[in-house]
């Protein structure tokens, strides 16, 4: 690897990548492919790398002494500004590595937090990222500067002699408490907002970051959300109305992407953002069929879903980017997941089949019926239009006969209102009499 002439290029930082692998780790041809994408998204230029297989990490420098010397040589050779590890480092290991190689050292979590901070757009996302960053930094603040902290903080030991570290630490802890309170309010409000859509079926897109969720949402709803080849381009939940051909309207939500070893602090901080997925009637798990590590990515998504408590949700696996996948790769995936739907969100290939499969999945909780309404009851007609799908109308002297398809719970509400019903397909559950039909405004998307 030879240095290149960079006089004509403006690069903010040059970085080296490093990763420690366990002896039995199974990785693809490029064990640093994902970290390379993270580094690129963070705005750095990758100029070299070091990979080591080792039984256990070195407690002092994580990598062995020989690899640390190799890393030092590469830093000097490339005049690198930062070394990024695809592992989580302790504060002491970070400090020792920085002394050894002579430049800034970041671990995987730190890079992900930096990317999230750059991409956060809404107030909610900014609060979540700030909380995750403070919780990550606080223990490092304590351990890096313990020599500045007082050994005793009892009576008579406080006052002018208090060190700056202790002030900063208390301020950070106070801010963490405030952020948790604010995010708890947002989570409660989000839960109420999602619950207010009761009766309108919701579908949520989940999946590994950069799997094509935003591209698929644009293809299904013409939402015109940003869809770029970057990790974590979407941090904020977007919800749009999706009209399933020959079926009816549902709400489709795009959520934050997942990643291998997603920091637990981020999962906890983004609980409000993931509320859409938690309350959805159906999850569309979008996987990048062209990625050699797709099986690991699918497994990582299911692990995150399990961690946030929604692993038992009805899920339809969608194999995306089949226009870029090899035939062997696609055949392997379809053999392993025979019920998955192969599509290309970019070209539209397979999207009609996906719409049909989603309709079939949602129809399990639907009933088809005929209801007779008074001619003047425009409110109920409008509600039926928003909550389900009207297949036909027949007007006569007694009123209007509507042939429609509805969620089974809604059909039960119609029954308790005393309307004349005839069930054509499905079963109506028992429902408590509602005070009135939901306002149609509750079915409008944000």
Look at residues 327, 362, 397 and tell me which one is the last residue of a structural domain.
362
Q: Give the CATH number, domain containing residue 289.
A: 3.40.50.300
Range of the domain at 369: 365-443
Same domain, 340 and 422: no
> What does R_g of the chain's alpha carbons equal in angstroms?
27
Last residue of a domain, one of 41, 73, 106: 106
Burial of 55 (0-12, 13-18, 19+ CB in 10 A): exposed
pLDDT at 289 (0 to 100): 93
As a whole number of angstroms, the distance between CA 350 and CA 365 comes to: 25
Determine, yes or no, domain membership for 3: no
Kindly give the parts of the chain with pLDDT less than 70. 1-11, 26-29, 141-165, 194-199, 223, 225-236, 246-248, 263-266, 268-273, 275, 312, 409, 429-446
pLDDT number for residue 225: 66
pLDDT in tens, 127-138: 888 888 888 888
Residue 6 domain-assigned (yes or no)? no
pLDDT for res 353: 93
Environment class of residue 381 by beta-carbon count within 10 Å: exposed (0-12), middle (13-18) or buried (19+)? middle
For residues 349 and 239, state if they share a domain: yes
Question: Do 96 and 19 have their domain in common?
Answer: yes
Domains in the chain, number: 4
Calpha distance 294→287 (Å, rounded)? 7
Q: Which tens digit of pLDDT belongs to each residue from 306-352?
A: 877 777 678 899 999 999 999 999 999 999 999 999 999 999 999 99
What percentage of the chain carries pLDDT values higher than 90?
25
């Amino acid at each position: 690897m030879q240095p290149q002439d960079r006089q004509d290029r403006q690069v903010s930082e040059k970085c080296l990548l490093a990763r420690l692998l366990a002896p039995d780790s199974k990785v693809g041809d490029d064990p640093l492919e994902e970290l390379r994408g993270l580094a690129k998204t963070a705005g750095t230029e990758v100029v070299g790398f070091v990979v080591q297989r080792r039984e256990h990490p070195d407690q002092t420098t994580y990598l062995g002494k020989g690899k640390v010397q190799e890393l030092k040589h590469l830093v000097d050779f490339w005049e690198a500004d930062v070394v990024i590890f695809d592992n989580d480092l302790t504060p002491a290991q970070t400090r020792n590595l920085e002394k050894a190689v002579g430049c800034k050292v970041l671990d995987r979590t730190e890079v992900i937090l930096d990317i999230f901070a750059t991409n956060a757009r809404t107030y909610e996302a900014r609060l979540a990222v700030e909380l995750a960053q403070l919780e990550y930094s606080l223990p490092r603040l304590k351990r890096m500067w313990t020599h500045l902290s007082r050994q005793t903080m009892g009576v008579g030991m406080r006052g002018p002699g208090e060190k700056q570290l202790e002030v900063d630490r208390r301020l950070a802890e106070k801010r963490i408490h405030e952020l948790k309170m604010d995010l708890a309010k947002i989570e409660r409000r989000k839960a109420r907002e999602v619950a207010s859509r009761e009766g309108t079926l919701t579908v949520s897109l989940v999946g590994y970051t950069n799997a094509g969720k935003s591209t698929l949402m644009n293809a299904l709803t013409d939402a015109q959300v940003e869809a770029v080849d970057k990790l974590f381009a979407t941090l904020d939940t977007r919800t749009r109305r999706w009209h399933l051909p020959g079926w009816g309207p549902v709400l489709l939500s795009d959520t934050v992407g997942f990643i291998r070893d997603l920091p637990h602090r981020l999962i906890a901080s983004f609980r409000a953002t993931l509320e859409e997925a938690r309350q959805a009637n159906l999850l569309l798990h979008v996987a990048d069929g062209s990625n050699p590590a797709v099986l690991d990515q699918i497994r990582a998504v299911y692990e995150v879903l399990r961690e946030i408590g929604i692993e038992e949700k009805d899920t339809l696996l969608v194999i995306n980017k089949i226009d870029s996948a090899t035939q062997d790769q696609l055949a392997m995936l379809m053999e392993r997941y025979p019920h998955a739907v192969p599509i290309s969100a970019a070209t539209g290939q397979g999207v009609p089949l996906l719409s049909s499969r989603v309709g079939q999945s949602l129809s399990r909780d639907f009933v088809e019926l005929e209801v007779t309404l008074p001619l003047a009851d425009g409110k109920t007609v409008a509600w039926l239009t928003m909550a389900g799908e009207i297949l036909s109308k027949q007007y006569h002297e007694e009123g209007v006969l509507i042939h429609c398809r509805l969620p089974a719970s809604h059909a039960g509400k119609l029954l308790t209102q005393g309307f004349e019903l005839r069930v054509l397909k499905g079963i109506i559950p028992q429902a408590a009499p509602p005070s009135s039909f939901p306002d149609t405004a509750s079915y409008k998307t944000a």
